[in-house]
């Protein structure tokens, strides 16, 4: 794996964390592109992160929310 790819991955994680997200998983996939005739490798970075948001409701319950599972 290329050191440049790993450095880019670290920078992306830093950017996400600077925005207040808690990174929980990172996956870096390096491959040769099947669509390009070039020999340069490509990479895909998948970042999983979580960020809690405070509820607007005083008691924390939102019974009228159609997206809340009961």
Domain ranges of the chain: 3-50
pTM higher than 0.75 for the full model? no
Phi/psi at 12 (5° precision): -60, -40
- Which ranges of the chain have pLDDT less than 50? none
Predicted confidence (pLDDT) per residue in 35-49, tens digit: 776 777 889 999 999
Residue 8 CB neighbours (<10 A): 14
HSE-CB at 27 with a 13 A cutoff on CA atoms is: 4
- What are 53's two structure tokens? 């948001």
Look at residue 46 in the predicted model and tell me its pLDDT.
97
Residue 46: name the closest of 17, 23, 21 by CA.
23
């Amino acid at each position: 794996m290329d050191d440049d790819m790993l450095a880019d991955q670290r920078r992306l994680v830093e950017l996400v964390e600077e925005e207040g997200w808690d990174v929980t998983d990172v996956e870096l996939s390096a491959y040769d592109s099947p669509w390009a005739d070039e020999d340069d490798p490509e990479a895909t970075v998948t970042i999983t992160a979580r960020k809690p948001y405070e509820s607007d409701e005083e008691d924390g319950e939102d019974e009228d929310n159609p997206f809340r599972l009961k």
